[in-house]
Amino acid sequence: MKAIHLLLKVAKIKEDIAMAKARKIAKQAAETLKFQGQVISYAKEYENQILDGGKAGTKVAFIQDADAFRAKLLESSRAMDKQVNDLQVGAKHILDEAMKAKMKSEGLSKLAEKDLKNEQKKREKSEEMQFEDLLAARTGVRTGTENA
């Protein structure tokens, strides 16, 4: 097996690994964004409960507890912003690496295809020459040099 075919196999493996990493990090970023959205949604629900409780005459202690919990939820959401940004930057970096690996793989694939075509042409030319030699031998045509 030629070196180019081995390089192609290695490039394909690297491409697959890089794409798998990119999908994994993109999935983590999406899950974190979804979770952050849920936290913000819970904070809004607590805010609505506080407003409804204030109108209904709920105890101040409950309203203060609910507001403190809502504030912690919002703080957690803000803390997730950095995590989401880091995941998105990481995903972009790994996706760039995956694209480079894919381009390298495609380039090597084209070279390997070209190499295979050249090999096929050589085989066809060799077979054609053998056929011509056999045909010449059968028809009795003298080929080559004769003794002087």
Task: Name the pLDDT band for 46 (thresholds 50, 70, 90).
Answer: confident
What lies within 8 Å, CB to CB, of 111 at 6+ separation is: 4, 8
**CA gap 43, 30 in Å, rounded:** 20
Q: What is the pLDDT of residues 93-141, one digit of tens each?
A: 888 888 888 898 898 889 889 989 999 999 999 999 998 888 888 887 5
pTM: predicted TM-score of the whole model, two decimal places: 0.60
- Sign of the C-alpha dihedral computed for residues 9, 15, 21 and 24 taken in this order: negative
